[in-house]
Amino acid sequence: MKTQYDIEGFRSKTTAEEEDTKIFDHTQEFSTLDEAAAKAREFLEKNKELGLAVISKHSPTGDHQGLKFIFRDKEGKFEEGDLYWGDWLCREG
């Protein structure tokens, strides 16, 4: 079994206290980070309510780690960054 990548989509917060902003978990898994990032950009282009996409990977051992985020800036352009969170290291399988 290989490492798989998936996408979560979030809308922008309307208040600082707001916590539940997740719009979707995209259940289709992608075999590469580039494939997942391309699909995340496509989601952002099609859905104007979507403000942030987080790409995560799942290792063959069941570990889950966020890797990249893509968001729309104030001008509507996409910005990308690496994401470093999770309690464990996912290894390529």
Over residues 42-76, the pLDDT tens digits come to: 998 998 888 889 998 887 787 778 889 999 888 88
Q: Identify residue 82 by its one-letter amino acid code.
A: D
* Residue 85: per-residue pLDDT: 53
**Structural domain spans, the chain:** 4-85
* CB-based contacts of 71, cutoff 8 Å, min separation 6: 44, 51, 52, 53, 78, 79
Q: Are 12 and 60 in contact (CB under 8 A)?
A: no
Length of the chain: 93
Q: Taking the complete model, does pTM exceed 0.85, yes or no?
A: no
Report the half-sphere exposure of 84 (CA within 13 A, side-chain side): 0
